[in-house]
Amino acid sequence: SSELTQDPSVSVALGQTVRITCQGDSLRNYDPNWYQQKPGQAPLLVIYGKDHRPSGIPDRFSGSKSGNSASLTITGAQAEDEADYFCNSRDTNGVHWVFGGGTKVTV
Amino acid sequence: QVQLVQSGPEVKKPGASVTISCKASGYIFSHHAVHWVRQAPGQGLEWMGWINGGSGNTKTSLRLQGRLTITRDTSAATAYMELSGLTSDDTALYYCVREGSSGWHGEFDYWGLGTLVTVTS
């Protein structure tokens, strides 16, 4: 099975922009989904299919992909955006799924 | 509204098995797959496997193949996960997750609150 690689942590000043990256072979064939997880809570879907926002997710969250690399961008980060962020996608075989190791965002 | 209600915490001895249930409501159970994802204390998310809510077909991660069994009861709108041969490495919070409607992207749009499984002698 393939893997998805994320940077362990990133910091951003309040109101600034932060980009969280995710790399892996599966992203060449499948678009990534992104999840936000705050302490003590279940993960929350924030971006699916590379760049689609579920209802209720602020438009400061956006996604993109190029080749085997994907990014989640928070434009104008807020204090409440401090959380762990995980990418995932179908595996290269299409019938399994894989998660990145997660990125801790500090605002 | 969509809800996934999981069974309560479990404490098991090494070598034992554990079964967790996940009762779905607020949508047509057979129209969506249910996945299982776990998270060891302080660690990231690990995809475990999934079941097609309609056909009952399943796939499990290569790492857990042979130990993980996923089933469902469509009449009860409930999915089950059984993990056997438990070790301390299986101590984790286990989530059941609904796969969304996009089909291709396989997004996990609704999550249960998680069931804590502790494996200790």
Pure H helices in B8-121: none
Whether A86 and chain B come into contact, CB under 8 Å, resolves to: yes
Give the number of other CB atoms < 10 A from CB of residue B120.
10
The pLDDT of residue B64 is above 80 = yes
Assign B31 to helix, strand or coil.
helix
The pLDDT of residue A93 is above 90 = no
d(CA B59, CA B75): 21
Query: What share of chain B in percent tops pLDDT 70?
Result: 100
Residues in chain B closer than 8 A to A31 (CB atoms): 104-105
Cβ pair A70, A50 in contact under 8 A: yes
Whether A34 and chain B come into contact, CB under 8 Å, resolves to: no
Comparing B121 with A2, the larger pLDDT belongs to B121
What pairing do the DSSP bridges indicate for beta strands B78-83 and A97-99? unpaired
Q: For residue B81, list its beta bridge partners.
A: B20, B70
Cβ pair A68, A59 in contact under 8 A: no
Give the end-to-end CA distance of chain B in Å, rounded to a whole number. 40
> Is B104's CB within 8 Å of A54's CB?
no
- pLDDT class of A50 with cuts at 50, 70, 90: confident
> Is A42's CB within 8 Å of B61's CB?
no
Structure tokens at A76: 């104008």
Structure tokens at A11: 């910091």
Q: Which of B37, B102, B112 sits opposite A49 (nearest CB)?
A: B102
The pLDDT score that the predictor gives to residue B11 is 98
The pLDDT of residue B93 is above 90 = yes
The nearest alpha carbon in chain B to A97 belongs to B47
> Is B47's CB within 8 Å of A98's CB?
yes
- pLDDT class of B102 with cuts at 50, 70, 90: confident
Cβ pair A58, A20 in contact under 8 A: no
Chain B interface with A: residues with Cβ < 8 Å: 35, 37, 44-47, 50, 59, 61-62, 95, 100, 102, 104-109, 111-114
The average pLDDT across A47-60 equals 94
Whether A71 and chain B come into contact, CB under 8 Å, resolves to: no
d(CA B2, CA B81): 20
| A65 alpha carbon, distance to own chain's centre | 11
